[in-house]
Each structure stands twice: as structure tokens, then as C-alpha cells.
Structure 1
Amino acid sequence: MTDKFIFRFVAGVTIFVVAVVIVLNRHLIPGPETPPAFTPYLPMLNAILNGTCSVLLLTSLYFIKQGNITVHKRLNILTFCLSSLFLVSYILFHYLMRTDTMYGDVNGDGILSKSELADVGSLRKIYLLILVPHIVLAAGVLPLILLSFYRGLQMQVQKHKKLVRWAFPIWLFVTISGVVVYLMIKPYYHF
């Protein structure tokens, strides 16, 4: 496979995933009238997958620092698979769930009164300060992850290292912030 093909493939996958997430978050494709019974558990599953990926990424870093390429590679493949499972679960949840959850929405009506906003004011700002970079970086890190995986699996070590300098900290931030976002929004789920 040529680099040109790989770059086009990565660009295509990235555009497709980002487009699907945007379409589902805007509810442009309606889900079922009644979501399956397992649907409310998907956000918790996503947080568990993100938390596990955080631990695996840090463990992978430890093993590569020790020079154990085999364990490093296996951990990264496992992390990639769990992150892929997260993405499927995330997409499934947003397809099945027809409502959005807003931070501070104690009534579950999607409208925050002035008193509700005042009650959660500074915490809501912190939540948004974590959520916004989480979303932006989650979309942006996908091509870095895909390219660094390709370079690593091809044993193109120098190119892999250059990509991982950026991919690793961003991916780690996204997985950790995903857990934090879940823990902060969880009290406002009404399903």
C-alpha cells in the first residue's frame, strides 16, 4: 500500500466517522420510538471503555520505555479495539436515544431556568471547559491514531514516533476527559 492510499483511507474514515457523529448528535436520523432496555447503560459502558483505554495507554507507554515492543504493540492494538468498541457504542447510543442531556437540567425538560443556571453556574463552566476540548480533540485525534498505528505496524519507527508525540497525549486527554464528562453529566441523565 502506498502512502497516498493510506492518507486517503485515513481521511475517508475520519470524514465518515465525524459526519456520522454530527448527523446523530443533531438527530437528523431518528432512532426508534422506544429505545432498547440496554440503552441507558451505554454511557457507563463508554466511560468504562475510556477509563480502560487510559490505563492501557499509560501501560503501553511504560512498556515502550522499557524497550518491550511486543507488549507495547499488543496493548496498543487492544486499546485501539476498545476505542473502536467505544465509538460503536457511542454512535449506537446517539442513534437510539432521541433526547439530549444538558448539564444542570434537573427536571429533564431540556430548558434551564435562571435558578438552575445559577445553582450550577461555575460547575457548568468547568464542565464546558472540559467538554469542548474533549469533543474537538476526539475528532482531531482519529487521523493521528490511524496513521500512527499504520506506521507502528509497518515498523516505520521514526515516522511512528513523530506521530505519537502528538497522538498519545491527545488520545490520553480524550479518554480521561471522557470519563470526567460522564461523571459530571451522569446526575442529569433522565432515562
Structure 2
Amino acid sequence: MAMTAEEKKYKGIIWTLSIVIPIAVAVLFGVNLQKLGYDVKPLSFLPPIYASINGLTAVLLVWAVSAIKKGNAKLHENLIKVCMVCSSLFLVMYVAYHMTSVSTPYGGEGFIRLVYFFILISHILLSIIIIPFVLFTFVRGIAGAYQRHKRLARITYPMWLYVAVTGVIVYLMISPYYTH
């Protein structure tokens, strides 16, 4: 099946965002306003909020899949739009927190430390990889390319769900080591 005109229209934007977002996050993650001498108040209240947003995203994704399986395409579309907003809010809060706060090192030891870093690294890598998957899946859906949307969604959904759930797990594992 060929790409729809709408898919072609957004292809460049999707690839640009898929490259620019991870680079911008990496650059901004390395910028700490406190260390640069700016008098900013650490946004230490954000981690439980953005972890909760990840949890909400996971619940909404499951609900969205349930809705489409029941034939409720409009609810599915709306829930996915909310998931995209939640993921965007998470990203903004995550970057804002790391720009204003000193990173918290994980304090666990032994096997649990290996588990933590496995989950963290897989979470980070998939959060980068998932960007074009989510955007192309979304565009295929709104463009009416439902068969192609469905095929890609079978890959996108478990990856996005994994990123959302592991975001919560990473937070729960590191939260005892926050010093504020």
C-alpha cells in the first residue's frame, strides 16, 4: 500500500522531530542552571508528577486499545491524543527537573542495581526509538490508512506501553534516594 498524501506531508516533520527531540533532550539534560550560577529553585516536586503521568499514559494506552477492539474509533483516537499530550508533558517536566536539579544517583547495590540499570537503559533507548513509531502510527490513523496503521500499531503499542510502565518503575526504584 502506498503512502497517503497526508502521510507524505508529515513524513519530513516526523523524521525531523524524531532526530531533534532526543538531541535537544540530551543537550538540555546536560545543562544545569544551578551549576551555571543561575539562581533557580530546584523543581524537586516534579519526579512524582511525571512518574504519575507515565502511569496515566500506560492506563490510557490500554484503554485506547480496548476501545478500538470494541469498535469505538473516536474514543480510541481521543485517548491516543491524550497519551501524546501526556508523553509531551512528561518530557517537558523531565527536562525542566534535570535543568534545575542535581541528578540523583541510584543507591541500590548488588543484583537490584543491575536490574535498575537494565530497566533504565532499555527505557531510555526505547523512549528514543518510539518517537517515529508513535508519530507515524498516529498519522496513519488520522489519514485513514487503517490497515497500515494497525500493522504499525502492533509494534508501537507494546513499545510505548513498556516506556510508560518502566518510567514508573524507574521512579519507584530511585525515589528512596532523592535527598529533598
User: TM > 0.5 between the two?
Assistant: yes
Residue 91 of structure 2: aligned partner: 87
User: Aligned equivalents of 2:137 and 2:21: distance in 1?
Assistant: 18
Whether contact under 8 Å (2:32, 2:98) holds in the other structure is no
Residue 41 of structure 2: aligned partner: 36
Residue 17 of structure 1: aligned partner: 21
Pairwise mapping of residues 41-190 of structure 1 onto structure 2 (< 5 A)?
A: 41-97=45-101, 99-104=102-107, 120-190=109-179
Identity %: 36
C-alpha spacing 1:9/1:63, structure 2 compared with 1 (3 Å) = same
1:6 partner letter: Y
Deviation at 1:36, TM superposition (A): 2.5
User: Aligned equivalents of 1:66 and 1:151: distance in 2?
Assistant: 20
Deviation at 1:8, TM superposition (A): 1.4
Secondary structure at 2:33 match in 1 = coil
- For each residue in 1:52-94, what CA deviation from the matched residue of structure 2 results, as whole angstroms up to 9, or x when unmatched? 0000000111111111111111111111111111111111112
2:130 partner letter: V
Secondary structure at 2:52 match in 1 = helix
Q: Which runs of 5+ in 2 are unaligned?
A: none
1:53 partner letter: T
User: Aligned equivalents of 2:6 and 2:147: distance in 1?
Assistant: 17
Q: Report runs of 4+ in structure 1 exceeding 6 Å deviation.
A: none
Using the size of structure 2 for normalisation, the TM-score is 0.90
Q: Number of paired residues? A: 173
User: Aligned equivalents of 1:95 and 1:66: distance in 2?
Assistant: 43
Using the size of structure 1 for normalisation, the TM-score is 0.85
RCO higher in structure (CA 8 A, sep ≥6) = 2
- For each residue in 1:21-77, what CA deviation from the matched residue of structure 2 results, as whole angstroms up to 9, or x when unmatched? 11123x2x341434326x111111110100000000001111111111111111111
Across the aligned residues of Structure 1 and Structure 2, the Cα RMSD in angstroms comes to: 1.6
1:51 partner letter: G
